[in-house]
Amino acid sequence: MAAQPTRRSPRILALSTIANRQPASPSHAKASAKRCKSSSTRSSKRKAPIRDSDVPNTKDVPRPSKRRRLDASIYTVRSEPDPQYLAPSAIAKARKQYFAGDFNPFHILPIWGTNPYNAIWKEYKFPDPTIHTLPPMDPPPPLKRLSIRYSELTSVEVIRNWDGHEGSENDTSIFRTSYKGKVYILKLFRSWAPLGGAEWGPHKFAREKRAYEYLLHGGVCAEGFVPMCYGWFQLRVPKKSGWLRSVASDETPPYALLIEYIPDAVPLSVSNISVSAAEQLHLAAEFVHGAGVLHNDIYPRNTLLRPDGTVVIIDFDRASTLPRADVNRLSLKFEMQHCWCMCYSRMIN
């Protein structure tokens, strides 16, 4: 399947660095490192070399209503990397060790200095309502309810299937599926939960459905920072079903989300992380936060690197949304702090 063009508006692409438009490579990473003595997801955009032809007339660019988005940005300064760790021989040796034993020898080393988010509100372990409360947002419209039958779906690939063990956390299943001649991601959630099961299928479905309502309303899906979600439905599965036999015996049909499939995207890892990819992840997280969504599970398995070097955040079944009390400026800061650590404490190129 041919790679789809990135759905980021000319305005957003113009605000990103030129390097962020290109596939990641060690040479690009090294060049980017020299350019970013003072850098952040915001400052890197301001410093980008932008041509007049890159920026459309502001009247031609649709912008989400101010009430749909928050200003969740936090300005930071990243340190210059230690050049001894950027030597090609050091990188080659580190990669060899990583592929041999799945261990990154550069992990935790202060290659990129100290995490700049550590110094922001460092005296707070818990949010102060007078400081960290976010302004209210307009509630988003409900996610579209679809009418899809089992007979209309064809399994293309099983990405993750419920393993059937009692007490298992994997009460969601993910498939690459064909529907009406197009390929989508089908995410299924078991519609029942045992007594005391606080975060089982119904709860995860409610979290992800609500997150996509905010992300769609805030224009984050349209910009390509997260996949498009086309709607939800309950899928009635026949008793004698092949690829969905794990939920065929359930008394109530599972909940389902129909999500955009992003071809040729791979999870972020030590083998492909770069300065460009790290900045793209921070930019994506900033847009997610601006929509009033706290992901709560940003790890490499939930961050996809596209062939064009842009990053997409997926899997929102643990997400929190406004007006929940756990979505506040301090919690957003903690998540950005985690993103920085994940990228720059593990980066080797």
Question: Which pLDDT value is given to residue 216?
Answer: 97
| Distance from C-alpha of 34 to C-alpha of 324, rounded to nearest angstrom | 41
User: Residue 24 above 50 pLDDT?
Assistant: no
Q: Would you mind telling me the total number of residues written for the chain in this entry?
A: 349
Q: Which amino acid is at 1?
A: M
| Distance from C-alpha of 246 to C-alpha of 237, rounded to nearest angstrom | 10
Between 119 and 260, where is the model more confident? 260
Phi, psi for 88 (deg, rounded to 5): -55, -40
Question: Which pLDDT value is given to residue 239?
Answer: 82
**Global confidence as pTM:** 0.78
List, for residues 249-276, the tens digit of each pLDDT value.
Answer: 788 899 999 999 999 999 998 888 888 8
Tell me if 206 sits within 8 A of 213, measured CB to CB: no
User: Residue 325 above 60 pLDDT?
Assistant: yes
| Distance from C-alpha of 200 to C-alpha of 191, rounded to nearest angstrom | 9
Confidence class of residue 30 from pLDDT cuts 50, 70 and 90? very low
Output DSSP code: residue 119.
G
The percent of residues in the chain predicted with pLDDT above 70, rounded, is 72
Range 113-149 burial, b when 16+ CB lie within 10 A, else e: eebbbeebbeeeeebeeeebebeebeebeebeeeebe
Between 257 and 97, where is the model more confident? 257
How much is the average pLDDT of 236-248?
A: 83
Place of tokens 């950027």: 86
Rg over CA atoms, the chain: 21
Domains of the chain: 83-140+264-347 (1.10.510), 150-260 (3.30.200.20)
**Average pLDDT value for the chain:** 78
List, for residues 157-199, the tens digit of each pLDDT value.
Answer: 999 887 544 444 567 899 999 999 999 999 999 887 665 555 6
